[in-house]
Amino acid sequence: MKTILVTGGAGYIGSHTVVSLVDQGYYPLIVDDLRNSSPEILEGITRLTNHSFSHFSVDICDKKALFSLFNQFSIDAVIHFAAYKSVGESCAAPLRYYQNNLIGLLNVLEACERFSVRKFVFSSSCTVYGEPEHKQVYETTPKRLPESPYGYTKWMGEQIIEDLHRNTLPFETICLRYFNPIGAHPSGLIGELPVGIPNNLLPYITQTAAGIRDQLTIFGNDYPTPDGTGIRDYVHVCDVAEAHVKALTYPGAAPLEAFNIGTGKGTSVLEMVHLFQSVASIHLPFVYGPRRDGDITEISANVDHSKAVLGWEAKRTVAEAIRDAWHWEQQRSKSDD
């Protein structure tokens, strides 16, 4: 059984990936100080997998504590999620984002190098493409300067990794460039658990439908798109999780490779609202607000490379992701009663 250290393993994508890892026979070590998650998620993972796993409440910016953890275990691979992830919040607190996301990455990479970890999977983002000239992007699409400090931390993270690979390293790296992960595990036991007001669209929608928020605010209806709202490539979080397992088994033709993780299809914010209303049979109150700093107009993934080379493609629909996210929200509402 291979041991996989998962930083941010109690977070949104991290928790679903831990479940996929256990399903495929791996032993995950979760490193997460729970600043952006909850013990509720750890309990959900335990119930879903019916397996024990190790959780360490370690801040990856604490190099001494991190290295001590690497020294205790024989680690076969690292999947690195731990990072702040809000575009809007990063514009308001850029130093906080640069300090956490970049120092954390540097510490994990140094640990991988020192302890000869075989493989490193980096949680990257489509924000590395900036505001692209063509709305569908390939892995070979030139990276542009991002629109937010969060995007810069992913852009700079990839650059740090690329520079590191100019020298001979004991490990291979795969950068998975997510587009917009949404949904939840269909069991309703784990899902996206935002702290405070959600920064991502779907939990904002489900919390509004559940009565936690008075109304949804759609940020910007004056984009040059068919309905005036921004367009994104929404991909089910369980599909995203499975991409990480694929990355672990990928033999690697090169020491460093990147893959787009999306569906290849864009959906506008307004279309998401209408689709939720159809799936949940609920009227959703919403208003339009000004554009948010850091948001781009439109982007979607070309996933030909991921299909042909990584052997991964999204299997679930946006409607299924909405259904699962709503189920998760309903389960949480019941537990809070």
Q: How far is Cα 149 from Cα 143, in angstroms, rounded to an integer? A: 15
Rounded to an integer, what distance in angstroms lies between the CA atom of residue 84 and that of residue 79?
A: 16
Is 150 an active-site residue?
Answer: yes
Q: What is the CA radius of gyration of the chain?
A: 19
Round to whole Å and give the CA distance between 318 and 300.
14
Q: Which of 173, 187, 221, 194 is nearest to 77 (CA)?
A: 173
Which one is catalytic: 150, 178, 204, 234? 150
Cα distance between residue 157 and residue 177, in whole Å: 12
133: CB partners within 8 A, 6+ apart? none
The runs of H, that is alpha helices, within 189-317 are 201-209, 237-249, 269-280, 304-305
**DSSP 8-state code for residue 198:** -
End-to-end Cα spacing for the chain: 40
Residues with a known catalytic role = 150
